A and B are shown apart, each in its own frame.
Chain A
Amino acid sequence: MNTTLQSNSLWNDSALNAQDYYERCDAAGAVRPHWATVTEEIDRLGLPELRDRSAAIERFCRENGVTFHASETPDESNRPWKLSVVPFVIGAAEWETLSTALAGRTRLLETVLADLLGPQRLIREGIVPGELLWANPSFKRTYHNLETSQQHLHITATDLARDADGVWHVTGDRTRAPSGLGYLLENRIITSRVLPTLIRRSNTLRLASFFESLKDHLYSLATTHRDDPRVVLLTPPSGSYREFEDNYLARYLGLTLVQGSDLAVRTGELNLKTLGGLQPIQVLWRHVSDRRCDPLELDPASGEGVTGLLRCVRRRSVAVVNTIGSVLVQTPALLPYLDKAHQFFFGDELKLTAAPTYWCGDPNHRSYVMEHLDSLNFRNAFAVSGGSAIVLSELSPPDREAFLQRLSAKPSDYVAQERLQFSKTPVWTGKQIEPQKTTLRSFQLLTGDGVTVLPGALARVGYDQLELSRSPISGQMTQDCWVTSDVPVDEHKTLLPDSETVIRLRRGGDELPSRVAEHLYWLGRYAERAEAISRVMRTTLARIAGEEHWDTLAEVQRLVRTLASMGQIEPGFAVEPFIANLPHVEQNLPLSVLDRGQPRGLVRTLESVMHNTIAVRGRLSSEAYRIVHRATAELTQSTGATTPSGANSIGIGEAIERVDRLIVDLLALAGLTNESLVRTHAWQFLELGRRLERAEHLCELLTATLCPPTDNGKPVCEAVLEVTDSIVTYRSRYKNLVRLAPVIDLLVTDETNPRSLRFQLDHIATLFQKLPSTEGPVGLDAIKRIVLDLQYHITTADPIELSQTSEDGTLEQLQSVLEHVAADLPRLAEGINARYLIHTESRQFLTGTGR
């Protein structure tokens, strides 16, 4: 066949082993019908185009921060997500059969879980060995009868692989809080963007209605406030491997993303701690482990959950998805007994089975296992989270011996599983297409109406099936799984509510958790700080580069001092005689632009901007992340030259260019937040941080530049106007006539200049009006007093008087006003911290015994 021949050149699949099941072609080499369209289209695209589209995917992932953690340790850095441009394709007819089987298996797991956490008939009637439950570390007795509602599982996942004979088998059930759903969604969004024609022509089933049902289902679980329930997604603390996808899911589904520290149980109800006070939560979708849900009744060391949650569940004041204890049915040792359990509950065979699995605690199983040691994979019988299997043939003789000893000492701790072949599918490797082994993770939603299977999956591909049996977030290449239909699919399903839905109009947004307010506040501060450093740096470097005798210029000396007091360069530059440091300035100033060593320097400040942007990613437009990412990357990218100490070396010209670009990016960020954030508490905190930082910086700058005596004030004034982006305004008002009084007016007392001190303080005062207040019936609270006092000081100042010099030429009055403001601003910041931001107190445990 012509297409087959043609495609062989591109697909590199002629050398496949006969025993491999190949997804694209049958044993005779003919393209399978459901692969025909995709094959044709990819052939038409050809290598160069595939390369381009693949690069587009990489760019998208990089710019949008689609990342994963290489491990569950939060310290490891994020790596970009890997998505192959070639999708995994499965035909609608086969999918229909598979998804019916998946639904059946999911229903079974729900029934088994309800039994184990309730009447335990499976144990009493000998279907499942009691030891599997009683010796299972995941069976915290508190889980038993905790939930009295009809349904325990809501969202589950199943790991699948196809054996050599083409039959799908389960390699693991995921009933706790399966990961991967967010990545699956992202994969689909990327492939539809990169391969729009292909995905349409192949009639790929859409995912939106699944997510819509998921959202509807979560909302339907509320037992109170049913018309407008609060549904939150609980994610582990910042830096977890869940961070990216939970942010993504929460934003896509319109749920509030919370961490344990955002929650509080009061009077037996779960609440969200917001700036406006506690707000009751009706539905909690948890992405933290069962045993970490409640330090009072479960693991006391964990801060991921919230004290008292189990009590809320018992009172039915909150619905938890999946039920706490759902982890139990992902116990590997249960796998061998699910067939019998299906027979027991439903009277017929389980359609979708696991690869044959043996629990070594069962004497019959054990004797089989001992005779087939080398053809089986071993796993801990009770390990509920991934982990690689143990393969005896891969162990050194001593390790093998040690393992066999452990096995015979405690056989009930192990399961053994037959190896599956794993089918192969075409994968884009970065250079070409080649067949690799694949596994799917499917997702199921359980509702009162039954089981809905998501029409797609997260496909993971690689050379080694052992690697593939690990967690989905472990770094392999992924594929979007397309279920392709013979008939056109409905294209118009989105998460927008249909026109029939009655919506109550609103202002504001969802409540702001105090923790998020904190990140927004610091985002504002660091972004402003980065801009301030960059501006001073740009003006300084431009003077040095442009003037032959720059070392004699007063403005250069003063700007360098400012940079030192801002923490951009060594503080010595601020105090030692300028001339002593001269030889270093010309070299070190540009280098400092790339220097991570100064904790308050530009690079580290940008890192803090990034950190806080990531933490509030769900509340900003996605462009915010892209701007910050690009800005950091462009500033710190390698210059190609190195200093003697091995650091990146950079010349003045290049440094000016980079700082200049950075300023543009930071302005874009400021513009974006200004134009895209609704004026809720979120915006107010971001703005508060920005204004406070700008006010502090102005005091610092003006004190260092304008106040000291000088013979020639003009160039100093001009430099300061340039740094503060006020030179254009100044010239439009006063032409080239530079005098102190109008400069001071423009930068200190002018309420119309967004760069003036007065403007910042007015703005801060306005922002405070809108924040939740603890103001009593009489008098002002402490924070408002400081704000009013600051405003008073600047409002009543007369620029003419401020420009008067004392005998030694110092601007004493200006200095005194600036010092007063500079002293009060940190007090204001502390007040904000104490009232709004610090919200976690130390915790202690009572045992009721003195021993």
Chain B
Amino acid sequence: MNENANDDAQIRYRVRHLTEYRYSNNVAVCQNQVRMQPVTGGNVTCERTDLSIAPEPTSRDEHIDYFGNRVITFSIEAIHKSLTVDVESIVAVSAQMTTETQPSPEWETLLATSPDDLRRPMIDEHRFGSPRITPSEPFAKYAVGSFTPRRNIIDAALDLTRRINADFKYDTTATTVATTTKEAFTLRAGVCQDFAHVEIACLRAMGLAARYVSGYLRTLPPPGKERLIGADESHAWVEVYAGETIGWLGLDPTNACLVGTDHIPVCIGRDYDDVSPMRGVVLGGGTNTLKVSVDVEPIEPRERTSQASGSNGAG
């Protein structure tokens, strides 16, 4: 993780996310919903985002969902045998002002002690279960090792993040997109989605508010090699609510670090179900093949040039 993230006021990226479906048979109609475009907010400025679809959709709508994400809904109502969704965005990410050593509230002070404390939509609602996550006893048992009495929230949450990173094996074959949080927890393996789900389950089981962030991660090529275009992946991490001063604190269990300028958030939700990048219903089509390519490219800042570094695995 980039230890000097806070030195860089802002990093700009060009992110391209290309999704291509090919079908064995004709598709009569498809209706899709896409959550792949960032919105400006928090430490993110979305300068530009374009979503192009081929074949040309018959109709297309846009709305902002409950969690503030930008959603495109479209349909293609002519016979087609392939679908391409190409998103290109220019995003500037400012460093979070939070560091690992900064003072933060004791985690117990963040708990709700009575139903009367639970009045803030978008904060308190993230304390509860969600479609993919049931915060149950086993998660609390695991988490309590990090949440020792009166520990401050950054320490405790970062410790949990690192423990998950250490205890869980990053393994793309261990789980699928449909694996439940409980299964991944039992397997002690998975990818960024599973790591994030497990950590959220732990945080909520402790009574804290935690949410799911989907986005991208800047990766650096191995020394001496060119950056490979399209070799990046979607990424997912966690935010825990750390009180009014700090707000949402980003944690990346896949990389055992706080979230910094290498993380480019796109959507926020309770878990993967709220932010899945694409969902579609297709009539016909036979079997399909899917190709996804993601390319995250740092670009020149608007005003001054700066160099960022870091090395992470996406997930």
Contacts and interface: CB of A to CB of B under 8 A. Distances in A.
B289 to A, nearest CB: 9
Nearest to B66: A141
A126 to B, nearest CB: 5
Given A145-B66, A267-B77, A295-B281, A847 B61 contact: no
A700 B210 CA distance: 73
A131 B116 CA distance: 10
A129 to B, nearest CB: 4
Contacts of B73: 308, 311
Interface in A809-851: 841-851
Contacts of B88: none
A311 B63 CA distance: 10
Contacts of B221: none
Given A134-B128, A308-B31, A844-B288, A144 B280 contact: no
A130 interface: yes
Contacts of B270: 141
A216 to B, nearest CB: 31
Nearest to A268: B59
**Which size class do B's interface residues fall under?**
35 or more
Interface stretch (B45-53, B118-126, B147-155, B259-267): B118-126
A846 B61 contact: no
B282 A844 contact: yes
Contact of B121 (A130, A296, A297): A130
Contacts of A846: 21, 30, 32, 83, 278-282, 288
A131 B121 CA distance: 10
B276 A848 contact: yes
A839 to B, nearest CB: 11
Nearest to B173: A851
B92 to A, nearest CB: 25
A130 B116 CA distance: 8
A142 interface: yes
Nearest to A308: B31
B140 interface: no
Nearest to B64: A145
A841 B33 contact: no
B311 interface: no
Given A134-B125, A141-B67, A848-B34, A267 B279 contact: no
Given A130-B125, A311-B73, A845 B279 contact: yes
B274 interface: yes
Given A846-B32, A848-B34, A851-B172, A130 B285 contact: no
Interface string B270-309: 1000101111111111001010100000000000000000
Nearest to A125: B119
Given A135-B129, A268-B59, A314-B61, A845 B280 contact: yes
A260 to B, nearest CB: 12
Contacts of B129: 135
B114 interface: yes
B119 A363 contact: no
Given A266-B75, A267-B58, A361 B21 contact: no
B144 interface: no
A124 interface: yes
B65 interface: yes
A743 B129 CA distance: 79
A114 interface: no
B59 A363 contact: no
Contacts of B83: 846
A123 interface: yes
Contacts of A850: 290, 292
B176 interface: yes
B77 A266 contact: yes
A130 B119 contact: yes
Nearest to A132: B115
Find the residue from A142, A295, A297, A848 having the highest chain B CB count within 10 A: A848
A265 interface: yes
Contacts of A308: 31, 73, 75
A843 B283 CA distance: 5
Scoring B28, B114, B116, B121 by chain A CB atoms within 10 A of each residue's CB, the highest score goes to: B121
Interface in A94-141: 120, 123-126, 129-131, 133-135, 141
B128 A847 contact: no
Nearest to A130: B118
B290 to A, nearest CB: 5
Given A130-B115, A134-B128, A845 B121 contact: no
B234 interface: yes
B33 A297 contact: yes
Interface string B100-117: 000000000000001110
B191 interface: yes
A568 to B, nearest CB: 40
B19 interface: yes
B314 interface: no
A307 interface: yes
Contacts of A265: 31, 75
Nearest to A134: B125
A848 B277 CA distance: 6
Interface string B125-139: 101110000000000
Nearest to A264: B29
B116 A842 contact: no
Nearest to A133: B125
Contacts of B172: 851
Interface string B54-90: 0000110101011100000101010000010100000
Nearest to A314: B63
A305 to B, nearest CB: 11
Contacts of B128: 131, 134-135
Nearest to A145: B66
A731 interface: no
A471 B63 CA distance: 38
B31 to A, nearest CB: 5
B120 to A, nearest CB: 8
A362 interface: yes
B124 A134 contact: yes
Interface string B5-44: 0000000000000010100000011111110000000000
Given A268-B59, A845-B279, A124 B176 contact: no
A841 B281 CA distance: 12
A123 B112 CA distance: 15
B191 A124 contact: no
A126 B115 CA distance: 8
A264 B77 CA distance: 11
A300 interface: yes
Contacts of A295: 281
B121 A141 contact: no
Nearest to A359: B115
A131 B209 CA distance: 13
A743 to B, nearest CB: 51
B281 A307 contact: yes
Nearest to A840: B283
Interface string B175-191: 11100000000000001
A848 B278 contact: yes
A630 interface: no
A639 to B, nearest CB: 51
B61 A849 contact: no
A843 B116 CA distance: 46
B61 A268 contact: yes
A786 to B, nearest CB: 26
Contact of A144 (B34, B66, B119): B66
B280 A124 contact: no
A224 to B, nearest CB: 16
A850 B288 CA distance: 11
A699 to B, nearest CB: 36
A497 to B, nearest CB: 37
13 contacts: A125-B119, A142-B65, A145-B66, A266-B77, A296-B32, A296-B280, A300-B279, A308-B73, A362-B115, A841-B28, A844-B285, A846-B30, A846-B280
The 8 A-B residue pairs with the shortest CB-CB distance, nearest first, are A848-B278, A846-B280, A134-B125, A129-B115, A130-B118, A141-B66, A135-B128, A851-B177
